Chains A and B, each alone.
Chain A
Amino acid sequence: MKDSIIKGFRFIGLGFFEPLVRLIAGEDSRKNSTEVLKKIIAPIASILLFIGIWYSGSKSLFNTEANYKIEKVRKEQGDEEAAKMKACIESGDVSCQPNTLPSPSQVWASYKLLLKDHKIISADKDAFKQKTAAMNEKRVAQGKNPIVYTGRPSFVDQIKTSIKTVFAGFLLALLIATPIGIIIGLSETLRTSFNWLIQILKPVSPVVWLLLVFMIVKTLTKDSNGDTSFIISFISVGLCSMWATLVNTAMGVSSVDKDYINVAKVLKLGSLQKIFKVILPASLPLIFTGLRITLSVAWMVLIAIELLAQSPGLGSFVWEEFQNGANDSNSKIIVAMFVIGFIGFLLDRIMLTIQKFISFDKNEGI
């Protein structure tokens, strides 16, 4: 039981819980309590420290901004108005709060607000669905398009869209980059002749890819009424992020251990057999390292691309909140920041887990 829990934790890359599990199981309490101290208490302390610094930082920024605001009013409208402004700020009235880095508690409040908002919207959606269910059936039967909910998406909906887009982009990168990487890796001639292209395209900024994809997709989808912004953003994400996989696959395939190749030669494996039974398995660890980088790059550029392409998702959520400039916009942006970071972390963990499962020399991943 205990061992399987530990194994599970290790497998998903959370091996630092091991001493805690052992401590709870009552095993060698002195050694494990120092381990717990080192591996769990210390990280928690660092989180608290981080929140502390954030809190005092935001407080001092708040004060600077507030003083500036009061002084400005004093200069323009006199002492009386300034005193009023000061009272207003101190009362916590939303209409006159200085606009600056939000404090941890504000961010927490926004987080809860966003969840509540999501509940309201999804209830609204359900109600809409029930109301239109019968009518939609009729419309479909008549060959018309069903009526869909067009209300504002909630924060959680935005997250879902982003994840959907990132996976579509990742899949595209996988489907393009691995086959090309394998082919390029197998042939030295192809490798040298296409190297310049890869080297030039690899550092191109996501923005440029987006514009390029936009030019092409816009024309291609002129008379279809599909979800153009989704298509544009996932293709751009795929194109931006596939390079790590391409390069790693080519490298893995071209640098397979000579011993394995010799085995294939001595056994006289056919070329397909050689590729699928020897070369690919041997380069799988490197290919997966590439895919892992690809997924994290995909997630990173996705936010920027959504922001630029105005396609729904976390990126546009951040951008809209920034332009919105409402009183709690800043704290919502910070919430989005943490969510983005956390999802990125989770995606990386998933890849790491798959990688561990697949690779034959079960090296501890980083």
Chain B
Amino acid sequence: MAYLELNNVTKTYGTGENTTKVLDNINLHIEEGEFVAIVGFTGSGKTTLVNLINGLEKPTSGEVLFKGKPVEDTSHERGVIFQNYSLLPWLTVYQNVEMAVKEAFPKKPKKFIDQRIKEYVEMVSLSHAIHKRPKELSGGMRQRVSVARALSMDPEMIIMDEPLGALDALTRGNLQDEILNIWNKNKRTALLITNDVDEGIYMADRIIPLRPGPKATLGPEFKIDIERPRDKTALNDNASFKKTRNEIIEYLMEIGNERSSNSEIQYELPDIQPKDLRWEFKASK
């Protein structure tokens, strides 16, 4: 029995004629302590998948099991970093995080709560903006508050929906390390949704592509056998990294091409034949 199991899950939105089957036949098993990344194209149903796992949505058919029990509702055991930050605009950074910390640690004294809030705000380097409201923050800053809020609850499983998309490379790198640190130190389980293959390889044990929707299914998984702690600068010279990276990108390009050839739009193409260089090359040999 895996820690998190999705068995033959499908998800359909809408009723009557307007139904779209977003996810089809999803099977995913994540073991305790694992770090799994899912990569996919925009609109393929990644957020839908995340919502099924965190309990905000129910599968149309199939089952989602967390520690052997069906997921019926949201839970503090599964923390979520939302893709669209979802900060409460009338609260300051401090208050947004406070709300989460208070819920996660209802019995702890005020001082503990206060310290924890400050610690996590510090972690995402927002101490200077701790009393600002989301409206006064940049997109990247908001995203970091959202990260701080989710991690401050210390969930057993961290579910991240493109958590670092709006950040510059440097901040992104730092936060990746912070997340890895928390995951490793507290022996957590993590599910990362990302559109950045490098990020997936750097952070995860396995990368699973989500094929484009509608009726999106999971593709074959790619194991990342690079020893931890991984060194970002050395990664580029790592043979295993290069190989996996190329495999994943090739696979994604393949399904990407499939998607565009499956699309219903028909393009008038000019009637010209490509010159086959390979053939020429072969012939000249």
Q: What is the interface of chain A, defined by CB distance below 8 A to chain B?
A: 259-260, 262-263, 265-269, 277-278, 281-282, 284, 360-361
Contact = CB atoms under 8 A, between A and B. Distances in A.
Contact of B86 (A262, A277, A281, A284): A262
Nearest to A362: B135
B103 A269 contact: yes
A148 B99 CA distance: 56
Contact of B99 (A262, A277, A282, A284): A277
16 contacts: A259-B82, A262-B82, A263-B82, A263-B88, A265-B55, A266-B56, A267-B153, A268-B74, A268-B103, A269-B103, A278-B88, A282-B88, A282-B90, A360-B133, A360-B135, A361-B89
Contacts of A263: 82, 86, 88
A282 B87 CA distance: 12
Contacts of B76: 268
A108 to B, nearest CB: 48
**Of listed A262, A266, A278, residue having the most chain B CB within 10 A:** A266
**Of listed A259, A282, A284, residue having the most chain B CB within 10 A:** A259
Contacts of A259: 82, 84, 86
A163 B89 CA distance: 36
A263 B88 CA distance: 8
A360 B133 CA distance: 9
A284 B100 CA distance: 22
Contacts, number: 43
A361 B84 contact: no
Contacts of A360: 89-90, 133, 135
Interface in B91-132: 99-100, 103
A190 B197 CA distance: 49
B238 interface: no
Contacts of B88: 260, 263, 278, 281-282
Nearest to A270: B103
B118 to A, nearest CB: 19
Question: Main secondary structure on chain B at its contact with chain A?
Answer: loop
A282 B86 CA distance: 12
Interface string B13-39: 000000000000000000000000000
Contacts of B135: 360-361
Contacts of A267: 99-100, 103, 153
Interface in B62-94: 73-76, 79-80, 82, 84, 86, 88-90
B10 interface: no
A260 B100 contact: no
Pairs A-B, 5 closest by C-beta atoms: A360-B90, A259-B86, A281-B90, A267-B103, A265-B74
Nearest to A281: B90
Nearest to A358: B90
B99 to A, nearest CB: 6
A365 B56 CA distance: 35
**Of listed A262, A265, A267, A284, residue having the most chain B CB within 10 A:** A267
A268 B84 contact: no
A282 B55 CA distance: 23
A260 B74 contact: no
A348 to B, nearest CB: 24
Nearest to B85: A259
Contacts of B103: 267-269
Contacts of B217: none
Contacts of A262: 56, 82, 86
Given A260-B88, A267-B100, A267-B153, 6 more contacts: A262-B82, A262-B86, A263-B86, A263-B88, A277-B99, A360-B90
Contact of B54 (A266, A269, A277): A266
Interface in B142-157: 153
B120 to A, nearest CB: 15
B66 to A, nearest CB: 14
Nearest to B103: A267
Contacts of A284: 90
A295 to B, nearest CB: 23
Contacts of B90: 281-282, 284, 360
Contacts of A266: 54, 56, 74, 79-80
Interface in B34-62: 54-56
B202 to A, nearest CB: 26
Contacts of A269: 99, 103
B52 to A, nearest CB: 13
A23 B86 CA distance: 44
B82 A268 contact: no
Contacts of B80: 266
Nearest to A262: B56
Contacts of B89: 360-361
A262 B82 CA distance: 9
Nearest to A260: B88
Contacts of A260: 86, 88
A355 to B, nearest CB: 14
Contacts of A361: 89, 135
Nearest to B159: A266
B254 to A, nearest CB: 34
B78 to A, nearest CB: 8
A284 to B, nearest CB: 8
A281 B90 CA distance: 7
A284 B88 CA distance: 13
Contacts of B74: 265-266, 268
